[in-house]
Structure 1
């Protein structure tokens, strides 16, 4: 397959149900739009229903809206219940929504905002919907991470919510590292089922609203450099779309832009940081996430099936 993978490579998606979080703008919007354009029944799972409906009106195909506020476990539970009442199967769950570099704040459940939104909200949603995916051959969970998982990133089990020390950059890095660790541990648990796969993707540097909380010291330089170092949301969504739809993609793989330093370019297999592959930390994060959210998954870890620490062949 050509390295210059585009939306023209997306196979026919008719008959498939896709749920995309944060789909009213940016990467999520472009992801949902492409899936709907190729025939999928797409649900925009968004915090602001009015904005979701406006986004749906700009798309072609079978598109609907579901209220979802990832900063509230009650909202996650309600959204999952509503989706379960509407669908008897889900083929694609795209965990796309996120916040970045926010000032110190907490979710409604008291979690640090970036960790709670980017990781714990999606962890809970996935666990609550997974039994609708397990019977579906070829179903996939795709979680969007970031190159930020390498920057000042670690899972601070002794201070997950930044109560003793808070850095918006480090908190974002922790949340994006958690996205990858969740993906790899989920794939390890899914391997025995053989139907559903877990993959991850990152958009490189894309011009979206996500960067609106960038620290002031960086905002002006980035404004000047943005045209040179960022790509459009449509390009940034391609790694997610490839992870979701490429027939050759495998569970546990990570897709990102193919250009230098994974900043821009067409999607290809990439490698995450060495610490993201640490199985013991993945398993500990899983247990902590279950305790914090109260959500238990319908899959358990079996054996030590390895997750490759580099780009496995998928061409």
Structure 2
């Protein structure tokens, strides 16, 4: 299917040094930088693609691309059948191929481009990032929250991902977040709020899709007395520990996503290092099948005495030095 697509609704999927794909706004891409006179990002990206083994035959170096750009006219001989290909991802379109051609057209001032709409799945998944998580958490005027069990992706996320948050009042924070999500509602997203016991789920489903793209999971009390169909262990935690965690939260600084137009950095709230480990440990004790949490604790625990003190003083979990030694061996 061929469709006229707004160029500003297209983004590129670009590899970082580790081979992870980051959705990238056209203006932030090395290809568009090159046609605008800043060649260095393209040179570096070409080197990266070669290093990662992603530079297929015909992948132009900087000099070749600039020569191509001078002569290229989209869908004119000898390119009359060379449509770019894109895949719809919610209200936006991910470039399937043709980043060089799209950038050439944008540089010429073109607003739209005839494209083939693809139905398949990308070979390399990468981050999703069609929701600007960074913007949400840089804008909300609410400080009594922490992002927990972070997997070092924030503010990036993958399809069907969720973000777990402890807060003072989930109803209040929910309203702040929904205000920031209003623009997505205008783009046709289904934004579904569900009360699930001790938590609120904010689910975002892109237009034209039936599956969840992203979920924000808000709690304003510990969930460890809940039981599910799978094996769980009830954990008693003193209420005061909830307040302690929020009181000694820390701020972490992040760059805005290259998917969007903001530059610079923003801050979000997280538990301090030991509290983070305690929360992951309790998650594992509560739901033992979640082995990634205990593995994280084993790989990152340093101050074992403070960790033991917190667990034994605030919960009914009994651990000591011998337990920790056996755990991390």
The question of a shared fold, defined as TM-score above 0.5 by the shorter chain, is answered with no
Q: Which has the bigger relative contact order, CA under 8 A and spacing at least 6? A: 1
Richer in strand (by share): 2
Question: Normalised by the shorter chain, which TM-score bucket?
Answer: under 0.3
Q: TM-score, normalised by structure 2?
A: 0.25
Q: Which has the higher helix share?
A: 1
Between structure 1 and structure 2, the one with the greater Rg is: 2
